[in-house]
Structure 1
Amino acid sequence: MTKRATLVIMMMISTLGMYSFNKYNAEDAKTSFASFYHDKFNGRKTASGDIFSNSKMTAANRTLPFGTRLKVTNLRTGKSVEVEVNDRGPFHSSRALDLSKAAFKAIGNPARGTMPIEYEIIDND
């Protein structure tokens, strides 16, 4: 087989592979990392217009619609919490969610700063 034929086959395989990964299913669980909001954000408006409170069960995500309810599970402890997306962020490429401190504490140790998580959409009104 020539180099050109090998290259064409490799391109076809990679294109088909990318196509299969681009199918987004809201029911699929995703894994990533989560951090939590600093206390300085208490009382400030979120991107949705809500007033932020570290005592509520909320989260920020870059793309999910506001009001989306998520089940977030700490992959270290197996503990889960339900949160509502009401803000945009986090603005760190390796993290999918910024959790309120209450949500983070419910499933993890804030002294660590971040935790590996799995999250899935449970309600998308």
Structure 2
Amino acid sequence: MLVATSFSFAPLPLVSQPAEAAALCGGASWYALRSKTASGEMMNPSAMTAAHKTLKLGTKVKVTNLRNGKSVVVRINDRGPFIKGRVIDLSKGAASRLGFIDRGHTQVEVEPLDGKSYKGCA
């Protein structure tokens, strides 16, 4: 005996964690190119700017070097970094103020200053 059955499966919703729920911690590096940024402005190595993959261009963030506790406020004006484990690329000027020019990279906490609640670094 053949029994016809009908199953209806609703597609599962895509689950993505909103940016404000993500811990913005990880590696940071610096760059000092003289090229156009994603925002359309020219990269200024001495400016307090940075590249981030998803934060809205123009967002201001506080970046804290977890190795020495130094912090700076930078404006997101470019896209990147594109290296696994890195969460932000900083201008040379910002990296200098954070004290990691010679190392080239460091571990940081990135706190957007937009009033949203973000988890801190573990």
Q: Which amino acid aligns with 1:33?
A: G
Q: Which residue of 2 aligns with 1:90?
A: 81
> Where do 1:66-85 residues align within 5 Å?
66-85=57-76
SS in 2 for 1:85: strand
Q: Which amino acid aligns with 2:71?
A: S
Greater helix content: 1
Shift in Å, 1:123? 3.2
Distance 2:20 2:55 in 1: 12
> Where do 1:56-75 residues align within 5 Å?
56-75=47-66
Superposed CA offset, 1:10-46 (max 9, x none): xxxxxxxxx6x825426x7521110000x4x12x110
> Where do 1:1-125 residues align within 5 Å?
22-25=17-20, 30-37=24-31, 39=32, 41-42=33-34, 44-123=35-114
Cα contact 2:24–2:87 (8 A) shared by 1: no
Q: Across the two proteins, how many residue pairs are aligned to each other?
A: 101
User: Which runs of 5 or more structure 2 residues have no equivalent in the other structure?
Assistant: 1-14, 116-122
User: CA-atom RMSD, angstroms?
Assistant: 1.9
User: Which runs of 5 or more structure 1 residues have no equivalent in the other structure?
Assistant: 1-18
Distance 2:76 2:18 in 1: 22
Query: Normalising to structure 2: TM-score of the pair?
Result: 0.75
